[in-house]
Amino acid sequence: MSEDKSIKVLIVDDSPTVRAVLSRALSNEPDISVVGEAKDPFHARELIIEHRPNVIILDIEMPRMDGLTFLKKLQAHYPVPVIMCSGVAATDNHTALKAIELGAIDFVAKPQSGSSIALRRLSEDLADKIRAAAVASPVRPTIPAKTTIKQRSFRSSGLDPRRFLVAIGASTGGTEAIKELLMRVPPDFPPVAIVQHMPAGFTKSFADRLNQYSQMTVTEAVDGDMLEPGRAFVARGELQMRVYRSGNQLHISYGTDELVNRHCPSVDVLFDSVADQVGSRAVGVLLTGMGADGAKGLLNMKERNAVTIAQSQDSCVVYGMPKVAADLGAAQHVVAPGDVPDTVVAALQKRVKRAAVHR
């Protein structure tokens, strides 16, 4: 790809070391060109005028102006896709998630090691996020913080939440899509297992944040956790998460750190285990994200007679994973995240009624 068609990236970070590592990580990507490195937002402003970058990688903590303040200014004056570069400390985690709410497309963990393996993983992850950001749609408005949306209870709909399991997978744009979905579920919704592509160290903060918005109890999943109604479990970063059955109970299980579809955790790994262990009593939901992770798993779930749902194109930040699922014929329903809970209830009611007729 010629340079004039490459994705132009500006790196904004006060650390010369971090700027050098990020630039080096992208140096072998033929479709990505680092057009500038800025030590602070004031320097970045000059480089933006000069180079008109397609994507900006933005540090959170910087002198003279912090990343969130600069992000807000960018959204108002130069709404270019932004990827936040965050440390792994809890305070940085929360700030990175806040940045997503403010309009950042994604975030990447700051490099912790200069080893060749770490650099290769960083290169692949960062390049994928940049490509996703370059094609991302503008972030949709979300529900104001701390707004609670009351839902009719799951049981009052004539359904027993103990009989079902909902599995959700997402990538770029998924943090807000999952939040919007969980804000609209009743407290007695079936157990929910979630894979969101996210670095290790961030998933607990993500779960804690979701817990503030949902009537369900949302936690980072622990190996052996029992999947119970009213609870949602977020897969821990850099471990593959599955569900397994022990007697009449479903539990969480962690496996290796092996990449599947270049992701760990992988949506396909979760969906395949749900198809095998839960079958027709499962619901699969595939949300926004780049690539194809989860599409084949959703098809597997459909073939086991599960209810399958993909996010609609007009509500996606990146219409990648749901599009592949739709193209495979894996999605029985195509809706926006906020419509997923009602879609789940309606689909399960229809199945229960149909089963009653055939008794």
Q: Which residues belong to the active site?
A: 171, 197, 293
CB within 8 Å of 356: residues ≥ 6 apart: none
Beta pairing, strands 82-86 & 106-109: parallel
Radius of gyration of the chain (CA): 21
In whole angstroms, how far apart are CA 25 and each of 28, 184, 187, 350? Answer: 7, 40, 44, 51
- Could you tell me the two tokens for 245? 């059955």
Chain length of the chain: 359
* H helix intervals, the chain: 16-25, 41-51, 67-77, 90-102, 116-135, 174-182, 203-213, 267-277, 295-303, 321-328, 340-357
DSSP state of 304: T
CB within 8 Å of 321: residues ≥ 6 apart: 169, 170, 171, 267, 286, 287, 288, 289, 290, 291, 292, 293, 294, 295
Residue that the structure tokens 């692949």 belong to: 124
- Could you tell me the two tokens for 159? 């359904």
Contact of 103 with 139, CB cutoff 8 Å: yes
Distance CA 287, CA 291 (A): 12
Distance CA 158, CA 188 (A): 12
Q: Give the number of other CB atoms < 10 A from CB of residue 4.
A: 7
Distance CA 238, CA 28 (A): 24
